[in-house]
Amino acid sequence: MPSAATLLSDVFGYDAFRPGQEEVVEAVAAGRNVLAIMPTGGGKSLCFQLPALMRDGVTVVISPLIALMRDQVRGLREAGVEAGALTSGNTQEETDAVWQALEEKRLKLLYIAPERLGAGSALNMLRRIGVSLIAVDEAHCVSQWGHDFRPDYLRIGELRQALDVPLAAFTATADAETQAEIVTRLFDGQQPDTFLRGFDRPNIHLAFAAKNNPRRQILSFASARKGQSGIVYCGTRAKTETLAKALRDEGHAACHYHGGMEAEDRRQTEQRFQQEDGLIVVATVAFGMGVDKPDIRWVAHADLPKSIEAYYQEIGRAGRDGAPAETLTLFGADDIRLRRAQIDEGLAPPERRMADHARLNALLGLAEALKCRRETLLGYFGETEVTCGKCDLCDSPPEVFDGTQPVRMALSAILRTGEWFGAGHLIEILLGNENDRIRAKGHNELPTFGVGKEYSRPQWQAIFRQMMGHDLIRPDPERHGALRMTDTALPILRGEDTIMLRKDTIVSAQRRPAVKA
């Protein structure tokens, strides 16, 4: 039996393993149950293709995307490996050829679409052909609360038990809940050997900034990188058009892209971006799936993405060539409110909504981070050994202050007004500004009235935003977005815990347009 290293170069034509690949290949080849979590593009397929060649018998690969399966089969055949696929996209001849190869015990890898597992005949067939390993690509598809649940994936657990062979599951989704669900459903709750590696993209510089004239912030970020290819992600279709125009007015080559455009226009924009140097595409998240441009030098978010996973995906489009790339993500209290509302008003079941809030919280924690962003980001994905030096907080550590007292003032204002008001009204109470509404509600009589005069209105806005970022308070969709305290805030309210806040975002917030009293 040739060694893994020999097969790596002779069959696949690579000089070396990528980070994480070798350990996974060894464990899978040794017949262990394996869960491998690697980022998209990290080289997962090799981690089951190579062991398949080292083991006797057939490796069954379950994958949700027919096009992807066909690509892999073609690639393997070109490398001289006997592989075939059984999918609904097959011609009868292709299917016959696969059967023939199976009968003659020639096939090393058999790709199967998950919906095929439903047919009883499939199980009988797989029992007969001497399966030695099951590999499951995109294993997060077994997760009901994940973003692309496939009911047919639920049959894979039974298949593993029926065939009694090792199973190797692969996914790029790293959050703990999804992992736990994979272990329950695919491995019957028995913890497999778990590998998590390769999420760091060391050439990408990470930076966040609180919104403070956001259009200007994006324009100056782009101007400092004039002539380089970049993407600006926006929260709405309308904004992609206005911001693209603003960039063109400043002499950039820029165009917009969103899902509401004609398919032909979208295709042309994708093609232009691919071919032209130095084009900026201002887009909604609809842009990116099909984009495979290695030299995107920067990615900016004009609005906060919807989750930490989405953030990682979107910035990950920069610097695929390994050369330095830069990112900037803008965020503000309005973004947080909007993202919360989108989750609350969505049709997802309650558990899913809770998970979505948690994913948003993770991103907000990153936005309001007090130390290295890369550590915070990769920590979320489960990686602990992180070296950075390429983020805004490593460049210049933020100034922090003990925010316990103002946070308790704000919580008190929220509770004493029955959790029925938004930040604007609460801040006026804290500042001790009388207005008609405050007098009508009798809020000028509250003990909290005027206790927060030592901070300015913009400072209070930044404090409220950070409180939202730390999930101490949340807008309630059933109360027109009135702020309510979460359980996270209880220890601070009771004086059992303290909280550090960032000063710099408060200073920069001072130039925000003031709310009319």
Residues in contact with ligand ADP by the rule CB under 6 A = 14, 17-18, 21, 38, 40-46
Shortest Cβ 135–ligand ADP spacing (Å): 11
Q: Please, what is the minimum distance in Å from the beta carbon of residue 347 to Zn ion?
A: 38
The torsion angles phi and psi of 322, rounded to 5 degrees, stand at: 90, -10
Query: Is the distance from CB of 37 to CB of 382 less than 8 angstroms?
Result: yes
391 binding Zn ion? (CB under 5 A): yes
When asked if residue 388 is in the footprint of Zn ion (CB under 5 A), the reply is yes
40 binds, among Zn ion, ligand ADP, none (CB under 5 to 8 A by kind): ligand ADP
List Cβ<8 Å contacts ≥24 apart for 219-227: 219/246, 219/247, 219/250, 221/298, 221/300, 221/328, 222/247, 222/250, 222/252, 222/280, 222/300, 223/250, 223/252, 225/297, 225/298, 225/326, 226/251, 226/252, 226/278, 227/277, 227/278
Residue 372 interacts, among Zn ion, ligand ADP, none and using kind-specific CB cut-offs from 5 to 8 Å, with Zn ion
- Is residue 374 a contact residue for Zn ion (CB under 5 A)? yes
Distant-in-sequence, close-in-space partners of 428: CB < 8 Å, separation ≥ 6: 435, 438, 517
State how far the Cα of 307 lies from the Cα of 331, in Å rounded to an integer.
12
Provide, rounded to whole angstroms, the least separation between the CB of residue 195 and ligand ADP. 13
Q: How open is the CA angle 456-462-463, to the nearest 5 degrees?
A: 85
Which residue, chain included where needed, has tokens 């939202």?
468
60 is a contact residue toward Zn ion (CB under 5 A): no
386 lines the binding site for Zn ion (CB under 5 A): no
CB of 368 to ligand ADP, least distance (A): 31
The residue among 38 and 76 lying less far from ligand ADP, judged by its C-beta, is 38
* Burial (Cβ within 10 Å: 0-12, 13-18, ≥19) of residue 352: middle
Q: Which is nearer to ligand ADP, 186 or 427 (CB)?
A: 186
Residue 42 interacting entry, from Zn ion, ligand ADP, none, C-beta within 5 to 8 Å by type: ligand ADP
Q: How far is Cα 114 from Cα 121, in angstroms, rounded to an integer?
A: 14
CB of 379 to Zn ion, least distance (A): 12
| Closer residue to ligand ADP (CB): 17 or 381 | 17
- Nearest residue to ligand ADP by CB is 43
* E strand residue ranges, 319-468: 325-331, 400-402
- Residue 16 or 263: the one with the smaller Cβ distance to ligand ADP is 16
- From candidates 372, 431, 472, 485, binder to Zn ion by CB under 5 A: 372
394 makes contact, choosing from ligand ADP, Zn ion, none, with CB < 5 to 8 Å by partner type, with: Zn ion
Q: Does 205 bind Zn ion (CB under 5 A)?
A: no
Q: How many helices (H) and strands (E) does the chain have?
A: 22, 18
Instruction: Give contact residues for Zn ion (rule: CB under 5 A).
Output: 372, 374, 388, 391, 394
